[in-house]
Every structure is written in structure tokens, then in C-alpha cells.
A = this chain, B = another copy of it.
Amino acid sequence: MSTSILDTGIKVVRNVGGFTVGRGSLDHLPQFVEARRTVVGGQSQVVYLIDSYFTKHTELINRLGVRDGDVVQFVDATHEPTTDGIDAITAQIRKQTAGLPATIVGVGGGTTMDTAKAVANLLTNDGAAADYQGWDLVKVPGVHKIAVPTISGTGSEATRTCVMTNTKSGLKLGMNSDYTVFDQMVLDPDLTATVPRNQYFYTGMDAYIHCIEALAGSYRNAVGDAYSRETVKLCQQVFLAEDMMSVQAREQLMVASYLGGCAIATSYVGVVHPFSAGLSVVLGLHHCIANCIALNALAEFYPAEHAEFRLMLEKQKVSLPSGVCANLSDDQYNRLVAATVVHAKPLTNALGENFRDILTDERVIDIFRRM
């Protein structure tokens, strides 16, 4: 393994096509959509995939520029995407559209945006979602797609993956492909004003946690470091401010989410994400809250960042669930260990190739018990 922070080999990184940023930028969405209709021939349909939260907050929907004949499909974000779920939505959209849509607009958080990315690929590539879990398996470009995030932190708006759990095997793996990257983003901080405070915090910390892990790792490069450093700085400004949900803070967190997503493309995570994955796989916890619970128990690996995280929790008066791994069965603890140590790349990035000398079964279980 290299010791130079710059010698990480070559990566080809695809950027999001473009973006609009600022309060009220959602009002530009209809013109982006109309431009796409013009490109493909005027009368083409548009598909809107929208977080089902907005079935009860319809004022947003009225601003999207939906026309007669367009498809509006709500996405239930209670559970993170599964391959069968993606296939079902794809089939429904195929039924409701004549030919390919001019664009797919994903309005929501990581689950909704990941769904939009996956469906866009499947409309032009034969087969099922599970066929494309992995790296560079998508054969041809998907349908044009636009991200409209309504919560900040996952970086889905910027990344080349869309995470799905395989309904049969349980494998949690995305369609990692240049074709998965959005063509356009609309970053309007007004859209995150109504997010519940705890959820806003947990999701925002996804960007922070990824980047502190990347910066502490041994696989590094100058672009990833730059994005990670700026993401951490923005998160500090947001979560150490008096009000993490001021207009300014919400715009900053939206930018942190985007740049954090850019950082993901050129770096690896560390110890937090593998433990978080264990919590998700064995106990069904959502990714973002699981990250926070994991970091909270990993002070020994990230002492300074852990202290800062505790300060952020306190400053924003956000509470974390505790005792989530108390009184589990031996079988559950063993499954937690297995679901954690399987993540060899990030653990090697953080601890070296012999990470199992450090993360023994006993130590892993001990850490989980503290959560």
C-alpha cells in the first residue's frame, strides 16, 4: 500500500452536467423541463418521481411545471430502495409512457433521487435492477434526469451510484456507472425549510462523516482532499452555528451535500461506514442515523471528530437513540461483526491491510454494545 497521500492511481470522474443554486431556483425547473421537451421533439412526456411526503404538501408540486400527460409518481421513502421496488416502479412508468420520457425529475432525498437514477438507467437498458448492481455494468446511457434535493447530506445528487438492497440476496450495492450521474441539479435551500430537525441533522452528518473518514484515510488524492476539506468546513459552519436551519445554513448544507458527493467519487470511507452498514443490515436502521450512532461509539478512532460531533449534537439540541444494540442475541452480534468486517476497502483505508488485528470480533462486539 502506498504511503504517499497523492499516489492513489488514476480515476476517471464524471461530473453532474450542471446546476442552479440559490433561493427560488426551483422556479427555473419548468424551463429546464421545457428545454428537454424541445430537444426530444416538443410533445414528449416528463416523469416526476417525488418523495411521498409531498402528497400532503402539494404547493411544491404546483411549481414543477407538470403538464397534462406527464407522469407523477410518489416514492415511499420509509424504506431505502430495493431491487424489486425499483423494478416495480420502472414497470409502472413503462406502462404510463409512450416511448422514452424527455426527462425524469427526482424530487426528494437520497431514496427518491437514487430511485430516479436507477429507473432512468432501466428504461434504456434491458433486464432488471439486480442485473446492474456492481461497477460499470450499465450498457447504454439512461434517460436524461434532473435532481431536486429536498434534504441535504447524502450526496446522491452528485454521485455515480444509486444504492439498492437486493431483495433476494440482501446485497446492498448500487449501479455504479457514469450513466448514473444526473444531468442537472436544482439546489434550492427553500426546499429544506420544513425538514424535521433531527432528520436534518442525521442526514447532513452523512456528508460530514464521509469526509472526515476520507481525510483520515491512507488512500488520498488532491481533488478528493479539496472537496472533503471544504465539505467538513461547511458542515462546521452549519452545525456549530446558532441555528443549523437558518436560510444561510440550509444553503451551505446543500452545497456541502453536493461537494461531499463529489468527494465520494474520488475517495474511500473509513471505520464509521462499515459499522453503520452493520446496523443497517442486521437491525434495519436507516443509513444516516446509523452513521451518527456509529460515530458516537467510535471516539477511539476519531477522537477530535467525535468531540466535534458531540459539540454539534449539543449545540443543535439533537438527541441520538441509545442502547440500540443492548441485549441482542449472540447470533445477532455475530451477524453485526460479519456485516462490518466484510467492508475490507474502507477498513484497509482507515487501519491498514491487517485491520482484523485491530478489529477483533471481541472489540467489534464491544463497540456495538456501547451504541
Which A residues lie at the B interface, using CB under 8 A? 5-25, 27-28, 178, 187, 221-223, 226-227, 229-230, 233-234, 247-248, 251-252, 254-256, 258-259, 266
Contact = CB atoms under 8 A, between A and B. Distances in A.
Contacts of A23: 6-7
A302 to B, nearest CB: 22
Contacts of A223: 19, 21, 187, 255, 258
A159 to B, nearest CB: 13
A233 B229 CA distance: 10
Given A222-B255, A226-B259, A234-B226, A17 B18 contact: no
A65 to B, nearest CB: 16
A15 B16 contact: yes
Which 7 residue pairs of A and B lie closest in terms of their CB atoms, listed nearest first?
Answer: A15-B15, A14-B18, A230-B230, A222-B255, A222-B251, A10-B25, A10-B22
A28 to B, nearest CB: 6
Contact of A251 (B6, B20, B28, B229): B6
Contacts of A255: 222-223, 226
Contacts of A227: 230
A354 to B, nearest CB: 26
A339 B352 CA distance: 58
Contact of A15 (B17, B21, B24, B230): B17
20 contacts: A5-B248, A6-B22, A7-B22, A9-B22, A10-B21, A10-B28, A11-B20, A11-B22, A12-B19, A12-B20, A13-B19, A13-B21, A15-B16, A15-B17, A15-B19, A21-B223, A187-B223, A222-B248, A222-B254, A227-B230
B226 A230 contact: yes
